[in-house]
Amino acid sequence: MRKIHCINAISKYGTDQFTEDYELTDEVNEAEGILVRSASLHEMQFSNSLLAIARAGAGVNNIPLDACAQEGIVVFNTPGANANGVKELVLAGLFLASRDIVGGIEWCKENKDDANIGKTAEKAKKAFAGCEIKGKKLGVVGLGAIGAEVANAAIALGMEVYGYDPYISVNAAWRLSRDVKHTTSLDTICQECDYITLHVPAVDSTKGMINKAALDQMKDGVVILNFARDVLVNEDDLAEALKSGKVKQYVTDFANPKSVTMEHTIVIPHLGASTEESEDNCAKMAVQEIMDYLENGNIRNS
Ligand code: MLT
């Protein structure tokens, strides 16, 4: 019987995929495989029995990759499995940044006892006027599974889309609408776009990529969306740019002590992949990867 330790928030529809040769165990020390979503494994002591870790999600920054490589533990992720879920929330972010939906909802709540709310609202609504995204320029930084989905959806909404990715694969390029303008220069994205959305992993070359130098190049009133990782943005530099009005809005899926206090910022508590569908897809892919490795030695998405 193969033993698998499941750390947190893995959809039961994923673990239902295990055959009768598998058993879920609470004892991490006896497990051959670990399934994990967002919990950090950086402090974990790995036992000799551990052969594989599957991260039910795209990012692997919660896993100590160097230590795993040293121990011969294979690490899988589930690229694309939650791409639609994240894309849909990014689109919501685009609309939240462009129309004052949050302000309008708050106003209605505050005025719920006003018997003439219909009439009062007609006067109040001027304050919540927004703009349309059709015809605006969107820069997609990173054209992996999620970035490609966002780019194609934005094209369908009538946006002019620029895609930045120095490492784009031929397959990913084929998935993209021909209307996406490719660039290998982040400067082009900064200089041209009205909206910039980040879809790259948190690695040494991307951490802090949105810093003062990048922000200074951007158009006045740019909107930045971050549904990838908070460390991609130097939040001190961004806070200054938000204060000065250089950046009109920041929409981030990462709540941290700094982001929740920044002006003109909409903070969501990492909900991009939190849909039933994305959770099921990620868990199923993670379980399949672990079983395929333990039984057949096959390695995909490692
Ligand atoms: C990801 O890396 O795909 C997300 O962090 C997934 C999640 O929310 O668990």
Closest to 140 measured CA to CA, from 93, 78, 79: 93
Q: Is 57 in the pocket of ligand 1 (CB under 6 A)?
A: yes
Kindly state whether residues 130 and 238 are assigned to the same domain.
yes
Query: Distance of CA 2 to CAs 30, 32, 138, Å?
Result: 9, 7, 48
- Which residue's alpha carbon is nearest to atom 4 within ligand 1? 57
The arithmetic mean of pLDDT across residues 27-32, rounded, is 94
Is 270 close to ligand 1, i.e. is its CB under 6 Å away? yes
Tell whether 143 is covered by a domain. Answer: yes
Euclidean distance between CA atoms 70 and 193, whole angstroms: 43
| Confidence class for position 301, pLDDT limits 50, 70, 90 | confident
CATH number at residue 29: 3.40.50.720
59 touches ligand 1 (CB under 6 Å): yes
pLDDT at 9 over 70: no
In the reported structure, the alpha carbon of residue 155 is separated from the centroid of ligand 1 by a whole-number distance in angstroms of: 25
Ligand 1 touching residue 273 (CB < 6 A): yes
Structure tokens at 46: 């790995």
Determine, yes or no, domain membership for 31.
Answer: yes
Mean pLDDT of the chain: 95
- The answer on 121 and 25 residing in a single domain is no
With cut-offs at 50, 70 and 90, classify the pLDDT of residue 243: very high
* Ligand 1 centroid, distance to 281 Cα (angstroms): 12
Q: Report the predicted TM-score, pTM, of the whole model to 2 decimal places.
A: 0.94
Residue 219, both tokens: 């158009």
Write the DSSP string, 5-45. Answer: EE-S---HHHHTT--TTEEE-S-GGG-SEEEESS---TTPP
Residues 91 and 71 reside in one and the same domain: no
The number of distinct structural domains making up the chain is: 2
Q: Taken in order 137, 140, 143, 146, is the CA torsion positive or negative?
A: negative
Q: Which atom of ligand 1 is nearest to the CA of 82?
A: 3
Please name the residue whose Cα sits nearest to atom 6 of ligand 1. Answer: 57
User: Same structural domain for residues 178 and 128?
Assistant: yes
In this prediction, residue 10 carries a pLDDT of 67
Residue 284 lies in a domain: yes
Residues 108 and 9 placed together within one structural domain of the fold? no
Pair (173, 245) in one structural domain: yes
The verdict on the CB of residue 3 being under 6 Å from ligand 1 is no
Domain-located, residue 117: yes
- The ipTM, to two decimals, is 0.94
In a domain, 280, yes or no: yes
User: Do residues 102 and 129 both lie within one domain?
Assistant: yes
Give the distance (Å) from ligand 1 centre to CA of residue 228: 8
* Max CA pair span of the chain: 70
Mean pLDDT, rounded, for 30-49 = 94
Q: Report the distance separating Cα 137 and Cα 157, nearest Å.
A: 11
pLDDT at residue 169, as a whole number: 81
Q: Is 188 exposed, middle or buried (0-12, 13-18, 19+ CB in 10 A)?
A: middle
Non-local (6+) Cβ contacts of 175 within 8 A are 148, 152
* Domain-located, residue 302: no
Q: What is the SS3 assignment for 236?
A: helix
Domain coverage including residue 44: 2-81+276-296
> Residue 301: inside a domain, yes or no?
no
| 82-108 tens-digit pLDDT | 999 999 999 999 999 999 999 999 999
CA of 131 relative to ligand 1 center, distance in Å: 30
CB 290 within 8 A of CB 75: no
Q: Are both 89 and 182 inside the same structural domain?
A: yes
Closest ligand 1 atom to the C-alpha of 59? 2
Q: How far apart are CA 291 and CA 14, in angstroms?
A: 12
Evaluate whether residue 109 is within a structural domain: yes
| Helix/strand/coil for 75 | strand
Helices (H), the chain: 12-15, 65-71, 83-98, 101-110, 117-124, 145-156, 170-175, 186-192, 212-217, 235-244, 276-296
Q: How far is CA 59 from CA 48, 55, 144, in A?
A: 25, 8, 12
- Do 162 and 243 fall within a single domain? yes
A 10 A CB-CB count for 25 gives: 16
- CB of residue 82 inside a 6 A radius of ligand 1: yes
Measure the CA–CA gap between 215 and 8, rounded to whole angstroms.
Answer: 37
Ligand 1 pocket test: which of 55, 62, 77, 270 has the largest number of ligand atoms within 8 Å of its C-beta? 270
Same domain, 97 and 225: yes
Average pLDDT over residues 62-91: 97
69 and 211 within one domain: no
Whether residues 291 and 205 share a domain: the answer is no
At 173-216, the pLDDT tens digits run: 888 999 999 999 999 999 999 999 999 999 999 999 999 999 99
